[in-house]
Amino acid sequence: MVFEAGHLKSAVAMDELIGASQNNFPVNVLKFFDLTDGLELSWAHAVNSQLKLKEAFSGNSMMLEADVLLHPKDGTPLMAHPPNTNSDLSLVQFLKKTIGSGKGIKLDFKVTAVVEPSLRILSDQTTAQHEATNPIWLNADILSGPCQTDCNDPVDPQVFLSLCAKYFPSATLSVGWTTGKYISPEKDGYDWHLVQPMKQLLSNLTQPITFAIRANLIGNSIEQLIWLLGLSEEYTLTIWSADSDAPNMKDLVALHNRVSDKKRIFYDLPLHQKTNFREELKYY
């Protein structure tokens, strides 16, 4: 997908981009959970079934991450992660349990087509039930990233950003770059030609932004990530990793030590990786 960041301003009405209602203030995730360090925020991943949702509510995880796709037959939004395309948990069911709860929500949109119907449901649910007093993050890979041969197309950035501002301006936007299974931590990273278009995309938005950063690409990207944080006090980093990844913990420590305000960096890592990271931090 070829994208020119400057097209966003002409393609989307400015009032939709600004879009923040005076009665719709973002919920700060650390204040909600009474934390002072992003490292302390805990996650439940792939909450894409009734069973996973029940387990997440019975556990200690603070943020519930779930993936949204369209039902292959009737096109309604449901919780599933490719290659799975179906589940026993619809988006409506997920939101009825989580809106206004003691858990935070991160909805991960996998394709452009699912964004608008999902955000309509989110808006309807918060109106029908009660205000969303808990943190709500909306996540999508909106730019092509350090991929080689196995990357999916990004979610259309113009569609995602404008619809989030229109339907749910109080949400935190979690935005990232596509990354594939076959990446080289030694060679790949978030180069300047990847991060600079992201700056242009976000320049007119008022919503809080967290950049979704893959842990095993940090080594070649520290200067770029520090630069992104410097663009706005409302910007944060969310470091994520797949179970099959083997990120260099010294790279994570190096980035951690460069970010003086620990409220501005979160770690959405598998348990064994987060444990290793904490151990590595003790030596620095």
Separation CA 14–CA 167 (nearest Å): 15
Separation CA 182–CA 162 (nearest Å): 31
Separation CA 102–CA 105 (nearest Å): 10
Q: How confident is the model at residue 185, as a pLDDT?
A: 66
Q: How confident is the model at residue 192, as a pLDDT?
A: 97
Region for 75 from its dihedrals, namely left if φ exceeds 0, alpha if ψ lies in -120 to 50, beta otherwise: left
Q: How confident is the model at residue 72, as a pLDDT?
A: 85
Half-sphere exposure of residue 225: CA atoms within 13 angstroms, side-chain side: 30
Distant-in-sequence, close-in-space partners of 143: CB < 8 Å, separation ≥ 6: 3, 154, 157, 176, 177, 178, 194, 197, 198, 201
Retrieve residue 155's tokens. Answer: 């979610």
- pLDDT digit string (tens) for the chain, length 284 residues: 334 444 443 334 434 433 333 335 789 999 999 999 999 999 999 999 999 999 999 989 999 999 999 998 888 999 998 878 889 999 999 999 999 899 999 999 999 999 999 999 999 888 655 567 899 999 999 999 987 666 788 999 999 999 999 999 989 999 999 997 767 767 889 999 999 999 999 998 989 999 999 999 999 999 999 999 999 999 999 999 999 899 999 999 999 999 999 999 999 999 999 999 999 998 76
Strand partners, 136: 105
* H, E, C per residue of 19-64: CCCCCCCCCCHHHHCCCCCHHHCCEECCCCCHHHHHHHHHCCCCEE
Q: Annotate 23-41 with b (16+ C-beta within 10 A) or e (fewer).
A: eeebbebbebbebeebbeb
Sign of CA dihedral 224, 213, 282, 40: positive
- Which residue, 232, 227, 121, 157, is CA-closest to 3? 157
CATH H superfamily, domain 29-272: Phosphatidylinositol (PI) phosphodiesterase (3.20.20.190)
3-class DSSP state of 105: strand
pTM: 0.89
Q: How confident is the model at residue 19, as a pLDDT?
A: 37
